[in-house]
Copies of this chain bind each other. A is one copy, B any other.
C-alpha cells in the first residue's frame, strides 16, 4: 500500500513536469561550472604565487612530461583542447624560458617537435608534486567511494556530451 502510493506520486511528478523543462540538468551544469571555476581559480593563484607560472604553461608541460620523445604542436593542441594558434604562442614563451625545446621534424618540414628540457623536467617535477597535494587537500572531504562514484558519473557525462556534440 505504502509502496504503491509512492510509486503513484513519482509518476505524477514526472507527468507534472512541463514538456520542455530541464531545470535539473541546468542546475547540474551550473554547479559543475561553479565547482570547476572554484578549483581552477585557486590552482591558478597558487601556481602563480608559488612558482610564478600560469595554468596553461603548467598544463603544456604536463602533457610533454608524459612523452619523453616530445610531440608535435598539433598533437599538443589536441590534447590541451585549444587551437593551434594558442599553442604557437605558449610554445614561444616556454622556449624563451628554456623549459621546452622546439626542433624541426626529421622528415616533415612543416612540423616541429617540442619536448621538455632538463631544466623543464626538474621544474615540472617540483610543481607537479605540490599540485597533487593541493588537489588532494581540496578533495579531502570526499571518501574514496565518493571519488570513485564522481569519476564514473563524469565519465558517463563526458560520453554523453561527446555523442551529443558529434551527432548534432
Residues of A whose CB lies within 8 Å of any CB of B are: 20, 22, 24-29, 31-42, 81, 129, 132-133, 135-142, 144, 146-151, 153-165, 168
Contact check, B156 vs A142: say whether CB atoms are below 8 A apart.
yes
Contact check, A160 vs B141: say whether CB atoms are below 8 A apart.
yes
A39–B139 CA distance with the chains assembled, in angstroms: 22
CB<8 Å pairs between A and B, sample of 19: A22-B135, A24-B144, A25-B147, A26-B135, A27-B151, A28-B139, A28-B147, A29-B139, A32-B32, A35-B154, A35-B161, A41-B81, A42-B161, A137-B164, A138-B164, A142-B153, A146-B157, A150-B153, A150-B157
Nearest B residue to A38 via CB reads: B161
Contact check, A157 vs B133: say whether CB atoms are below 8 A apart.
no
**Secondary structure dominating the interface of A:** helix
Nearest B residue to A128 via CB reads: B26
Nearest B residue to A27 via CB reads: B151
Q: Which of A20, A36, A141 has the most CB of B within 10 A?
A: A36
A150–B150 CA distance with the chains assembled, in angstroms: 7
A148–B20 CA distance with the chains assembled, in angstroms: 18
A162–B38 CA distance with the chains assembled, in angstroms: 8
**4 cross-chain pairs, A with B, having the tightest CB-CB distances, nearest first:** A141-B160, A22-B136, A36-B36, A25-B139
Contact check, B160 vs A34: say whether CB atoms are below 8 A apart.
no
Contact check, A151 vs B35: say whether CB atoms are below 8 A apart.
no
A31–B150 CA distance with the chains assembled, in angstroms: 10
Q: Which of A40, A137, A148, A159 has the most CB of B within 10 A?
A: A137
